[in-house]
Structure formats: structure tokens, C-alpha cells
Structure 1
Amino acid sequence: MTHEKRKPRRRLLAAGLVVSLLTMGGVAYGLADRYLIEHVEAVVTPNTVAVNSDSETTASSSSSENNNSSSSGASSTSVPSAEADESTKQATADDWNYKSEDTQIAIKKVETGSGSDKVTYYVADVQVKDASSLLTAFAKNAYGRNITQDTSEIASANNAILAINGDYYGFRNDGVIIRNGTLYRNEPARDGLALYDDGTMAAYNEEEVNAEDLIAQGVTNTFSFGPVLVKDGQAVTDLENVKIDTNFGNRSIGGANPRTGIGILSANHYVFVVVDGRQANYSKGMTLTEFAQLFEDMGAKEAYNLDGGGSSTMYFNGRVVNSPGSKGQERGVSDILYIAH
């Protein structure tokens, strides 16, 4: 009799275990789907136009469609071409410098402090003839979520002479994402960065400016990360407790960390900066306040913080210049900002 009474109890326990396992499995799949599984929403031909994953070219001039644009129906505009007559460029290069008729790049490695207070960072001074040389690229030439490649792989695939990691747009669902003249995402959320076809750049509030207006004003690329580091030549203050978004695992990024950022000195004259960090006696990283001050000290009129931490990577002339992550190894990212050969 006692044995018979135990059977229903065992069945209930077994049923409860099955339900728990299914629930845990569902949660695990949900997390994997959100943060690990690739979701390709648009395949991109490098430096040309966006096409859907079913290979149909997308083009929409309707503002009503573009105002609600997502990457599943990216709106296309004219895109700057990276092609040029090689015979006129006559480029010369070494490990730290590149010069052609329309591009000059000079990279320097800077070390400050010592021991546990040592900081190592890299500054690329970039001057281009016009903004068409400043381009962006997606990992695996595909727009979507959780699509990643090392910065060096994306750069090599796009014939970049210089590249830094972008904003890791594929980790989040919001932000305004315009790349090489095409609007891929229109979900305003934070202070973004706009690069213009006249060689200038400026921060803007995504919730206050329409994406279609940005394109009409000549914006070729936007980044949605931040915060803004320098505005009108002055370093932004009160950066100690900045949070970029509320995605899984995010926290305040104000402390000493690896950093990537871009600043502008004048039209078509930029500085790309990558700070190494989390590596004892080599580089502890920089706080956001220190990073902002660095850009101001270099004379930047505007500067913006891009994705940092293990993502922070500078690629130049076929090699990774800095020591990414905590072990000097690259971490896959979703996008880069680069200068083409």
C-alpha cells in the first residue's frame, strides 16, 4: 500500500523535473538566441549597396517606410566608392606611416606611468582628401545580430589600410545605424555620432533628429555607443557613472578600461585612439574622464567613445598594432571604421 502511494508522488516529481528542464532549456535557448546565434538581416556587397538576405536589392525613397526602417528592409542612398585609380595614388608605407595622394596616416605608440599605473595607447593621425575614404564595414559583410569577426579579418576583407572597431551594434536592438549612406536601423535611444560627407563629425541626440533628415544633411555613417567625450573643443565632465544601455551584463564603464574612440581636429583630419588595458605592468586602461581629456589635449573639436574592453583594436597595414583584450588577443566585433587603400 505504501509502495502504491509513492507512485503518484514519483510521477509528480518526474513531471516537475521535466517541466523544470524544459523551462531551463527554453531560457538557455532564449539567451543563446539573443546573444550568440547569428541573425543575418541584410547581406552587404562591400562599398556598394545593401541587399536583403534573399539577394533582392533594397531601395526605398519613401519617408514613411524609412522612418520605421529596420535591417530587414534597409533603405539605400548613394554610397561612397573606395575605388580609385591606383596609378595616381603612388602610396608609400612602413609599420607606422602611410602616404598617398589622398591619404596620410601617422601612428604613434604612447606610454605613460610605470608599474601598475602604466598606460599604453595608440594614436592614428589621419588626414584624407575627402570623406569618401572614411568607410565602415560589417563582420562577414552581413548586417544583423551576433555576427562577429575579428577587426583584422573585417579590415583585410575590405582592403583597409587602417581600421578600428566600431560600436558593436549587433549586441543591441536599438540605436540609429547608418553605414556608408544606408539606413539599417532606426530605433533612437542615446547620443549618437554622425560622420558627414564634408569631412566633419558631430554628436547628436538620436531621439531629437530624424534619421531621414540626417541622410538629407549628408550623414554617411552613424555610431550608437558613447558617451560623447569632447564637445566644441571641451572635454565632457561627469563621466564617472555612465552606462551605455541595459543589456545583459552591462555595467558602469567609467573606470579604467581598454578604450576606442574617434576625434576630429578639422574637416577630414581625424584622430583614432585605442587604449590597451587590464594588462599588468603594460597598461591598466583609462577612465572615461581621462580618455576625454586626452582628446581635448590633442586638440579635438569633437570626440566620441566607441566600444571598448576586449573589442578595442587598431589594425594598420596588415597587422594588429595594439595588444587587445587582457591577453593580447582579438575579440570578434560586429563592425569597423576604416580607411581604404
Structure 2
Amino acid sequence: MRRILLTGLLGFTILVGGPTLWALDRYVFEHVEVSNASSYEAALASASVSDSAAVPDPAGSDDATAAPAADITIAEHTFGSGADEATYFVADAQFTDITQLKSAFAQDSFGLNITQFPSEIASEVGAAFAINGDYYGFRDTGIAIRNGVAYRDEGARTGAVIYSDGSMDIYDETATSADALLADGAWQTLSFGPALVSDGAIVEGIDQVEIDTNIGNHSIQGDQPRTAIGMIAPHHYVFVVVDGRSSDSAGVTLPELAQIMQDLGATEAYNLDGGGSSAMVSDGELVNDPLGSGQERGVSDILWVG
């Protein structure tokens, strides 16, 4: 829907010129900064290994000593009742190695306004399980570390970081840097928010948070489709996708999402892109029903497990 609305400005460009052309260039036209990102990451990993650095291989390994596959179970639940009832899906994941949790970009390219359906990205990387990511490509700020590689270092908001030891933390992007995070073992960072649970407690004030969109802040309050990631313990994670804005599922508020994550046992939890972007894919099939339409929306990235 974002892309449809913004693309509709194209005809208007002829009439108003500069300002609209700038908006189209910034929010619609694709800007590829790194193409063939998976090959780029693999090349960096190989170079690091040759220099005797212990950097995980984001492409995985066919070696017989590779860690056993992650154990993931998916269950459907409901929250609330009556007109406020919402359907949500929980994927409980036990990793033997956190590098089993990977990130992938739409069209295998890092940059602005590059999108693809989550199920298509999942299919191309061979994911057994995936959820939508943080829609990094709609912003030009935030710290973006994916599969142990730094792509962007523009701290702007509260982020989440997953370290190579399997732990997850909520952190202030403006108080650190991508290099510092990598030195501490960062494997993935996510930059959307807000943080939902920190040190086991629901974060205060999330019922007032607005999300920056580069064209001003905008509220994500009320009952909405949601996606969240949480850590129960190092290497033990939960992924939650909530359906909403339909006659079958109302969605949940941010405090309700935080409560769901806390009830699941998450000591750290973080809100990812939601609305029509909320998607969970298992074995090539869409698990949830975004907006009650059965249709996916293009996103810039996914988190996935092979």
C-alpha cells in the first residue's frame, strides 16, 4: 500500500516538479548500495577466515561437523475476546548456534526502497522459517548489522542487537557504533521499535511511542497487526506475528504485544515492522493472514532459519 500510494505521485510530478521528484526519488525509486549481498557477506567471511579471524559464515556450512538444525515449533493462539479478539502465531526456536538465525534482503540487495514479498525472499534463500524484518530500507538511518556485516552506521533510535553468544540486548544506537557492536560480537541488529521488554520488565511509555518515518513521526498505537522478536534465554527465541485489521482478528496494542512477549517468558523483546508487513512463513507457506486479505506486502528484509 505504501508503494501504491507513493507511486501514484508520479503523474503529479509533471505538474509540480522538484519537490515531488525528490519524494519519489527518496521513497519510491530503488537505490541499491550493495548488490549480491549474500556473495558480499560470504567474501568478507572468507577473507576474515583467511586472516584467522573467528567470523561465522553467513552462508552456512556443509561440513559434517556443522551444528544440528534449529528446533522450531509454531502454535496458534488468541488474545482478548469478542470484537477485540486477535489471532497470533508463536514460533518457539531453540538454536544450537545463533548464526542459524540469518537475515536476507529483498532482491539480495541492500539499499533504499528495495522490496519483495517475504515468502519470495524466503524461497530464494531456502528458508524453512522466516518472519518480516525491520523494513530498514524505508529509512536512511539506524545501525544495520546483518549476518555479522555492517551495512549502515547512522544511530538514531532504540535498537535491538543479537550477539554471537546467542544473547539479545536492547540498546541506544546513538550511544555506540557499528564497529563497537561488531567488536562485541554483534551478529544481527534491528532498528524499528519500540523495545517491548527489557531485563524481564515491560518497557514503560510504549503506549505513547511514535515511529520515525523520515517524513515525520507517526503513531503505531491502537489495535494493529504486529511482529516481534524476543529472547527467553541465550539461543532460545520466540517470534510472534499478530493478525489484525480484519473481521477475524482485531490486532493488538503495543502494551498488549509486550504482555504477550513477557507471558511467553521473553526477558528482552523488540517490535518489528507491522501492519501489512507482518508475515510468518514456514516451509514456503504463509502461516498468518496479513490484514485478512491473504496477500503479502513487499518488505525490505526478513529474518530466517534454514
TM over 0.5: yes
Unaligned regions of 5+ residues in structure 1, if any? 1-19, 52-56, 62-76, 90-99
2:306 paired with 1:329: no
Q: Encode CA deviations 1:144-164: one digit per residue, 9 max, x unaligned.
A: 000000110111111111101
Q: Structure 1 80/21 Cα, relative in aligned 2: closer, same or farther at 3 Å?
A: closer
2 CA distance for matches of 1:109 and 1:145? 34
Superposition pairs of residues 1-341 of structure 1, within 5 angstroms: 24-46=16-38, 49=41, 78-85=55-62, 101-248=68-215, 250-280=217-247, 282-340=248-306
Please give the secondary structure, in 2, of the residue aligned with 1:244: strand
How far did residue 251 of structure 1 move?
Answer: 1.4
How far did residue 259 of structure 1 move?
Answer: 0.4
Q: Structure 1 86/104 Cα, relative in aligned 2: closer, same or farther at 3 Å?
A: farther
2 CA distance for matches of 1:59 and 1:214? 20
Q: Encode CA deviations 1:90-125: one digit per residue, 9 max, x unaligned.
A: xxxxxxxxxx93311100011234442120000000
How far did residue 224 of structure 1 move?
Answer: 0.6
How far did residue 301 of structure 1 move?
Answer: 0.8
2 CA distance for matches of 1:115 and 1:86? 52
Bigger Cα Rg = 1
TM-score by length of 2: 0.88
Q: Structure 1 317/178 Cα, relative in aligned 2: closer, same or farther at 3 Å?
A: same
Q: Structure 1 36/289 Cα, relative in aligned 2: closer, same or farther at 3 Å?
A: same
How far did residue 46 of structure 1 move?
Answer: 2.4
Please give the secondary structure, in 2, of the residue aligned with 1:178: strand
How far did residue 241 of structure 1 move?
Answer: 1.6
How far did residue 27 of structure 1 move?
Answer: 2.6
Please give the secondary structure, in 1, of the residue aligned with 2:174: coil
TM-score by length of 1: 0.79
How far did residue 204 of structure 1 move?
Answer: 0.6
Moved more, 321-330 or 126-135: 321-330
2 CA distance for matches of 1:183 and 1:83? 18
Give the superposed CA RMSD.
2.7
Report the residue type matching 2:279 in the other structure: T
Please give the secondary structure, in 1, of the residue aligned with 2:249: coil
How far did residue 210 of structure 1 move?
Answer: 2.2
Moved more, 329-338 or 115-124: 115-124
> Is the 2:45–2:58 contact (alpha carbons within 8 Å) kept by the matching residues of 1?
no
Q: Structure 1 104/334 Cα, relative in aligned 2: closer, same or farther at 3 Å?
A: same
Q: Structure 1 21/125 Cα, relative in aligned 2: closer, same or farther at 3 Å?
A: closer
2 CA distance for matches of 1:160 and 1:276? 22
2 CA distance for matches of 1:333 and 1:248? 19
> Is the 2:230–2:268 contact (alpha carbons within 8 Å) kept by the matching residues of 1?
yes
Q: Structure 1 112/240 Cα, relative in aligned 2: closer, same or farther at 3 Å?
A: closer
2 CA distance for matches of 1:156 and 1:286? 29
Q: Encode CA deviations 1:258-299: one digit per residue, 9 max, x unaligned.
A: 10000011111000000011001x111110000011111111
2 CA distance for matches of 1:119 and 1:46? 36
Report the residue type matching 1:309 in the other structure: G
2 CA distance for matches of 1:196 and 1:141? 23
> Is the 1:311–1:325 contact (alpha carbons within 8 Å) kept by the matching residues of 2?
no
Q: Structure 1 318/47 Cα, relative in aligned 2: closer, same or farther at 3 Å?
A: farther
Please give the secondary structure, in 1, of the residue aligned with 2:209: coil
2 CA distance for matches of 1:21 and 1:208? 40
How far did residue 143 of structure 1 move?
Answer: 0.3
